[in-house]
Structure 1
Amino acid sequence: MATGLGLSEGVLALEEQDLFWKRVDIESAGGTALLLLHGAGVAGGLTWGPMIELIAPRPTLLVPDLRGAGRSRDPDGIERPFTIDQVVEDIVALLDDQRVERCEVVGYSFGGLVAMRLKQRLGERIESTTLIEPGLLERADQAEMRCVRQGYHRAAARVRSGTEVEAGIVDFLDLIAPRRSRHPYIERVAIARLAERPLGFANALDCLAQAVCRLDCEEVIAAQRHVLCLVGGKSPETLRDYHHALAAARDDWECVEIGGADHSLPFQKPRRIAALLDRASAMRAASLR
């Protein structure tokens, strides 16, 4: 049984952002530190809370709130647009501040794009990456993906209007999870999660759309090492096919399709994801012996 449990939280005061974080330390745990990066508009604790207790003990587990979500805010409280590289620099500063020299990273959706860019920025400091339907890899045809991402801008504009927040969120859900359950309760829960900070969510959507147009996707992919991709069996076929094709082309890239899930994998399948994370980490550790 793991002993020496330490729980802490705080705010890292950066020039342009007060970055909120939570941390779990277990003295007796082996392995590598784990960084968990959430998706657009939904805070780290809400995304990863159910999964943290299911993951095998780690020496350090770090969960920040990315820009636009949770308790991370501009120092003056104003919701401002941001770029993907600003978000990445926030996380680099957090890793330095928390003295996390090397880590494994899990990135979901928007956080998946951050994780990929973080690996590109930090290289071997990121030992492995688990990508849960990352924002950069929704389909192979990048020109087509840029067209689809214009829908993110339109959804963000409706959210930002203040009078069409729910309609804009539904537009976004229709883009990323067209085969999701339409049960009224489940839909209300999903909308409520994303409406907690509507302007922050809208800024994250614009950030995603801009990143797809600006980044060289092939360069970002080439920088990745030791990747596990998780996709939902109910997610669009174009997304699933692309991830399977990436895995087929790379010896260090694995894709696992999780049946019965759509884009909301961390909320729908936390136990399954935790088991896959533990398996990937154990296999990685065994390969280094």
Structure 2
Amino acid sequence: MRVVGGLVRPAEIPCSAWGSGPPVLLLHGITTSSADWAEIAPALATGRQVLAYDQRGHGDRADVGPYSLDRLTEDVTAFLDARGLAKVDLIGHSMGGVVAMRFALAHPSRVRSLLLISATAEPVSPVPAEVILRLATVGRERGMAALAQIIDRIDNSLPFRSKPQRDRFRHDFARTSVEAYATLGRELSQYPSMLDELARLDIAALVMVGEHDTPLRSAAVRLAGTLRRARFVVVPDAAHAPHLENPTHCLAAILAHLDTADDADVRSTEPGEFSHMTVPTMPVRDVLTEAYGRVHRLVHDALASLRPGTFVHQIEPGTNSIAWLVWHLTRIQDHHIADIMGEPELWADPQWATRTGVERDVSTRGQGDGPDEIAALAKADSDGVSAYHDAVMARTFGYLSGVTEAELARIIDTSYTPPVSVGVRLVSVLSDNLQHAGQALFVRGMHERMEQAR
């Protein structure tokens, strides 16, 4: 394989192709491959030439590096140039959508229209960069196939897919370069917003998001409201991969867009309006998932790249450390989510006391702790506490994904007046966690400031 300046020569990017006619290029998401388009590509190819290739670090090109969103965008240019394609319709899923937007901003005259599936123009990663890096460590140590099995168990969107689709997901994930996963996953959680630039882009666009893709729904609405010529579609009975989870509805929306992308009425008359907009709703479960996701991100902000000693630092003797604050808020959440679900607490598994270095039994959650108990966490392990928090959050998100209004109204504690429902308890835990996560960030800031002053 010949490489020039880190870029594979254009002719060396193989692709799958269907049909003939005006070209449509499909860009897949992270840890998948061009095989992801198999359900809809043949139907799209009626009167069109549909093309799809494996992005670098993925599928048959897993060994092609280096990895960055810039490199992926440059590959689009190289691919089109090699085939003499002056202008295409670009369809991108997730990371592929980000690449499609970057290409459209760099080469607007080469894009007839944009179709953005489960993609955002700003970082809205449900998995913080620090978690991506820890997962990548698992991939390096145990292999990407083992990591695929872990993701398959915790990804709330995968239940919307058929068994063959889940099998292919694990197969494609296992083939992905672990370095591509680490580098691109981190970049997707940190890249600069493109919204201001996209507001000036005069290209017809379709923004599509799954009904159950909770982390991306709000950002997808912002994206559609920013683009000057946008349609917006919410795909029912779908999560993060509508083209797999509800291909019939997804295909109908894509074909309608491709057939009318040149129509004058696609243009919105005012910023924030959408042509042919499917008005999204936001169920209470999505609000709660978004809110708990904020706690998750705040905790990882507090734990990311800590200086030595910061994790267990106390501003004054007897005050709360980051170690105690994160352990305590996670224990509270673990206890109440387990109670709501009627399941044992995760802390009941002895591995967590061992991994966190916090030798406390399942009956203790930190309420009423004094200076001695807080100081006892001086030997706590930040990676272990973070992993425990991630496990509790994964369980919480799994529960919230299926919660109903009837479940939220269920009474679980009659010792209060009025009695406490599931919904009230979830909000109570959320309120407590936000306070403690904010305190952890404050302690971190104070310690870093003290260290800088020395």
TM-score by length of structure 1 reads: 0.76
Change (3 A) 1:227 1:163: same
Residue matched to 1:104: 89
Matched residue of 1:65: which SS? coil
Structure 2 residue aligned with 1:265: 242
The Cα offsets for residues 38-80 of structure 1, whole Å up to 9 and x where unpaired, read as 1112221x11122112225244222111101222254xxxx64
Q: Secondary structure at the match of 2:37?
A: helix
1:50 aligns with 2:39: yes
Measure the CA separation in 1 of the matches of 2:248 and 2:2: 34
Structure 1 residues 240 and 22, CA gap change in structure 2 (3 angstroms): same
Matches within 5 A, 1:177-188: 177-178=155-156, 180-181=158-159, 185=163
Check 1:220–1:84 CA distance in 2 against 1; reply closer, same or farther (3 A cut). farther
Q: How does 1:1-40 map to 2 (within 5 A)?
A: 15=4, 16-17=7-8, 18-26=12-20, 29=21, 32-40=22-30
- More strand per residue: 1
Q: Structure 1 pair 194/70, CA: closer, same or farther in 2 (3 Å)?
A: closer
Answering whether residue 60 of structure 2 is matched by residue 71 of structure 1, we say yes
Q: Alpha-carbon deviations, 1:100-152, whole Å to 9, x = none? A: 1001100011111111111111112111111111264464xxxxx59834333
AA of the residue aligned to 2:33: A
Matches within 5 A, 1:1-289: 15=4, 16-17=7-8, 18-26=12-20, 29=21, 32-44=22-34, 46-55=35-44, 57-74=46-63, 80-134=65-119, 136-137=121-122, 139=124, 148-163=128-143, 165-167=145-147, 170-171=150-151, 174=154, 177-178=155-156, 180-181=158-159, 185=163, 189=167, 191-198=169-176, 200=177, 202-222=179-199, 224=201, 225-236=203-214, 238-287=215-264
Gaps of 5+ in 2: 266-454
Query: Could you tell me how far 1:22 is from its partner in structure 2?
Result: 2.2
Q: Tell me if structure 2 keeps the 8 A contact 1:37–1:106.
A: yes
Question: 1:280 offset after TM fit, Å?
Answer: 0.7
What is the CA distance between 1:170 and its match in structure 2?
3.5
Tell whether the 8 Å contact from 1:136 to 1:212 is kept in structure 2 after alignment: no
2: CA distance, partners of 1:272 / 1:117: 27
Cα 1:81–1:162 change in 2 (3 A) is: farther
- Of structures 1 and 2, the one with the larger relative CO (CA 8 A, separation 6+) is 1
Give the distance between the partners of 1:172 and 1:220, measured in 2 at CA.
36
RMSD of the TM alignment (CA)? 3.2
Identical residues among aligned pairs (%): 19
Correspondence for 2:367: none
1:213-272: per-residue Cα shift (whole Å, max 9, x none)? 243433453354322111111111x42122123334544122211111111222222222
If the length of structure 2 is used for normalisation, what is the TM-score? 0.50
**Per the alignment, in what secondary structure is the counterpart of residue 20 of structure 1?**
coil
- Residues 53 and 99 (structure 1), Cα distance of their counterparts in 2 relative to 1, 3 Å cut: same
